[in-house]
Amino acid sequence: MLNLDFHPTGRHFLQIPGPSPVPDRILRAMSYPTIDHRGPEFAALGLRVLGKIQQVYQTTGPVIIYPASGTGAWEAALTNVCSPGDHVLMYETGHFAALWQKLAVRMGLNAEVIAMPGADAATGLPSSYRAGVQADLIEARLKADAQHAIKAVCVVHNETSTGATSDIAAVRKAIDAAGHPALLLVDTISGLGSAAYSHDAVGADVSISGSQKGLMLPPGISFHALSAKAIEAGKKASMPKAYWAWDEILEMNKTGYWPTTPNTNLLYGLNEACDMLLDPRHGGLPATFARHVRWGEGVRAAVRAWGLQIQCAESAVYSPVLTGVVMPQGVDADAVRKIIYERFDCSLGTGLGKLKGRMFRIGHLGDCNDLTLVAAVAACEMGMKLAGVALAGSGVHAAMEYFAGNPAPAVKSAAIK
């Protein structure tokens, strides 16, 4: 029999930037009996979760929920707003932006890539993989598109492979400044519920997300928040679509149902996750976002104390979701990760694509606290020392100093007295 719970004592430290640890209360909610997805109980559940996920997205428009991964939602977004052969502009900030472009090509779209040119002098890594989206490059490209051939601009909000969170509102302003009608499609798969994001405020047309990051759920459901402009574009787009089509889903969602079989037990979990994120006793979304920013600062204090480089080189766009740690030349980051996993029961994110073997990623999102992250930093520090990585100082001490000196704001307690 396959052994899927082989950790001898204590909890495994899952410090990858998603899937993130699932809180016990969400696991308990998901254990409720499955109900008839055509019955009256389900309609009440459907309407409830659709309303709550709107609040998490900070939108008054509809939110589509698919039984699919974030990759499925990538495809669904392009399928609904594009026609065969359409020209889409995709900004490459890292591995996931590159994968989205590859998917678009396989769908038969003319997927043009732009990015910050050049390589970083200190690491030799692509410059675009150490920064956020440069909105001025998008504006210039759209101004050059006098015939308005480009149908959509696709950007990643929080690039999980690099630890950079881009300014999406600036991208919207760039599109508007160019006087271009292109739709704005945003991947906020790792941003939603952990990095400040409002679908309506940033002016996105389709905001794509998934369950397994800031929403603290297992993988398996994904989302689109839609603008009125996107819905109208979907009515005219001619890409073949059936399962992904918005029209039937939007119509049935009005009464709390779906045209296909929904993931009932994950919807139970989503209902609980939204309650956790929106709970006014704990400060709601503003406190959730502030908590993640604070965790990121504590982890980056550790990286600086080690004397190592942070993958994201622009402090203004540091991700509150994860921190990429660049290894010195000649050090295999995956070998370091292997030591940390085997010796200290702590999983870290690998370097992806062009960053393979050059860095590892520490996730600080979702069901965490200060002590979780101090322990994860300790595992990293011990593992790097065992691997022979020369460290300038103690990251553990730096993280403890940061968290002790910058306490989280007090929240109302619901504890029994």
The low-confidence residues of the chain, meaning pLDDT below 50, are 415-417
Domain shared by 287 and 382, yes or no: yes
Instruction: Give the tens place of pLDDT for each residue, 361-377.
Output: 999 999 999 999 999 99
Co-location of 233 and 150 in the same domain:
yes
In a domain, 1, yes or no: no
Residues 282, 296 contacting (CB under 8 angstroms): no
| pLDDT at residue 417, as a whole number | 40
Do 177 and 48 belong together in one domain?
A: yes
CATH code of residue 299 = 3.90.1150.10
Q: Is 24 exposed, middle or buried (0-12, 13-18, 19+ CB in 10 A)?
A: exposed
Residues 218 and 117 in one domain: yes
Residue 8 lies in a domain: no
* Residue at 187: amino acid letter: D
Q: What is the DSSP letter of 128?
A: G
Query: Quick one: 207 and 274 in the same domain?
Result: yes
- DSSP notation for 273-285: HHHHHH-GGGTHH
List pLDDT tens digits, range 309-318. Answer: 999 999 999 9
The pTM for the full model equals 0.95
Six-digit token string for 107: 């769908």
- Looking at 253, 278, 303, the residue that finishes a domain is 278
- Same domain for 103 and 39: yes
Note whether 272 and 317 are same-domain residues: no
Residues 6+ apart with CB under 8 A from 377: 299, 302, 362, 395, 396, 399
Per DSSP, 367 falls in state S
**231 and 341 housed in the same domain:** no
Tell whether 187 and 335 lie within a shared domain.
Answer: no
Q: Clarify whether residues 325 and 236 are in a common domain.
A: no
Q: Could you list the residue range(s) of the whole structural domain that residue 169 is in?
A: 24-278
With DSSP H G I counted as helix, E B as strand and the rest as coil, what are the percentages for the chain, rounded to 5?
A: 45, 15, 40
- What's the total number of domains in the chain? 2
Rounded Cα gap, residues 218 and 221, in angstroms: 8
Among residues 278, 302, 329, the one where a domain terminates is 278
Q: Residue 224 falls within a domain, yes or no?
A: yes
